[in-house]
Amino acid sequence: MIIHVVRPGDSIFGISQKHGVATDVIINANRLPNPESLVVGQAIVIPGDFFTYTVRRGDSIYTIARNFGISPRKLLAANPELLNPNQLRVGQEIIIPLAPQRGKPIFVNGYVFPSVNPEVLSGSLPYLTFLSIFSYQVRADGGLKAIDDARPIAQARAAGVAPLMVITNLEEGSGFDSDLAHEILNSVEAQNKLIENVLGVIDGNDYYGLDVDFEYIYPEDRQNYVDFISRVVNRLRPMGYPVSVALAPKNSADQKGLLYEAHDYAALGALVDHVIIMTYEWGYLRGPARAVAPINEVRKVLNYATSVIDSEKILMGMPNYGYDWTLPFVRGSAARILTNYGAVELAEKVGAHIRYDNISQAPFFNYYSADGKRHEVWFDDARSIKARLELVGIYDLGGVSYWTLNSFFAPNWLVLDSMYRVKKVL
């Protein structure tokens, strides 16, 4: 697999000729929505038994070929644009005609809403370990608001994917409710009732395990939350049900803010089977324009997380969406949510060129709408996905978790499949 970034004058036919891969293969693998209208800066995955190598100081065609166990002739045949193979440039990318060895097996989780389109979900299921169906909303007395989850559970199990029940402190018609969490976390009776209700759903609905996603917990409830998760684990684990928790992206133990303070990485990480760290939303719906998951910020979180949690328990959050902001940013305004395909289609529609920010490792572009307002769009492509997936190996993480898989983005799975093997528990 290699990633081709569209240049001025590129066509799908020309890209096919350059890489020796049929146009239909490229179009179908990427599920390109408009292959005849490519966008400058668009990233396209070229599937096949090859990958790119960046030339280093002292490299030659002979040494590169020797290091990869192929003949210089085969290497040159894969790189016909090398008019003078004796003059390689440091930083130049060349194609190595050899499938790289995929890395370690990893856990892959994906969140979906119960309403997910079955055809959309079917595209992602082959690459998943777990499917987390979002969400059962807890009530102050330990009750649960049911969801219509029968279809995605059955679809997941038919594909050998383990469905996880998700419970949240979301308030109906609103967001995460700190007061609701406070009431539950200060009542052992409510917690015990909640746990028994959770077990009833898991047993009755054929779930594999539980994911707890309590957010915006009051700082004074920090220890209460640890105690609650301990009760959950002690009740569910003997019955064979794994437990995971979703945590805010902290870069230090004492990070301030309602989102962060009650999430005790060390204590919670020691209790549960998996920790899903929500490493996204630096660029968020009601905030200023920036990358959703800038790799420099993600690294800060992982540096801290791996210092206090067993790295093999950590599933790094991966966003599957982008945002379109109106500039200048006005506090209280909201961006428009886009799929990754939708972002490229928008760039084609408005005639924008996609650029790539090397600090955040993310694609973006600007355009003017019909009303004359300037916009900025940040999203994900094969390059940004590959850059963040490399962190799984660098930090020896347990895997990744996607928010959400209600839309399908083929390049993500092409990249992941070229780098890792997916663990299955069913």
Instruction: Report the CATH number at residue 157.
Output: 3.20.20.80
Alpha-carbon span 42 to 382, nearest angstrom: 9
Q: Which domain holds residue 13?
A: 2-96
Q: Are 71 and 211 found together in one domain?
A: no
Short-list 16, 47, 147, 102, CA closest to 382: 47
Short-list 241, 228, 238, 225, CA closest to 274: 241
| Number of neighbours of residue 288 by Cβ within 10 angstroms | 16
Q: Are 259 and 407 found together in one domain?
A: yes
Q: Are 335 and 231 found together in one domain?
A: yes
Catalytic residue, chosen from 189, 196, 215, 376, is 215
Tally of structural domains, the chain: 2
CATH code where residue 14 lies? 3.10.350.10
**Domain endpoint, select from 54, 79, 96:** 96
Sheet containing 362-368, strands listed edge to edge, beginning at the edge strand earlier in sequence: 336-338, 322-327, 374-378, 362-368, 355-357
CA dihedral 293, 424, 111, 354 (to 10 degrees): 40
Q: Are 162 and 245 found together in one domain?
A: yes
DSSP string, 174-234: S-B-HHHHHHHHT-HHHHHHHHHHHHHHHHHHT--EEEEE--S--GGGHHHHHHHHHHHHH
Instruction: Assess whether 215 carries a catalytic annotation.
Output: yes
Alpha-carbon span 363 to 357, nearest angstrom: 6
* Neighbouring residues of 137: CB distance < 8 A, sequence distance ≥ 6: 144, 145, 167, 168, 169, 170, 171, 172
**Domain endpoint, select from 96, 116, 146:** 96
Q: Are 79 and 116 found together in one domain?
A: no
pLDDT by residue for the chain (426 residues), tens only, comes to: 999 999 999 999 999 998 889 999 999 999 999 999 999 999 999 999 988 888 999 999 999 999 999 999 899 988 888 888 888 999 898 999 988 888 899 999 999 999 999 999 999 999 999 999 999 999 999 999 999 999 999 999 999 999 999 999 999 888 999 999 999 999 999 999 999 999 999 999 999 999 999 999 999 999 999 999 999 999 999 999 999 999 999 999 999 999 999 999 999 999 999 999 999 999 999 999 999 999 999 999 999 999 999 999 999 999 999 999 999 999 999 999 999 999 999 999 999 999 999 999 999 999 999 999 999 999 999 999 999 999 999 999 999 999 999 999 999 999 999 999 999 999
Q: Are 149 and 195 found together in one domain?
A: yes
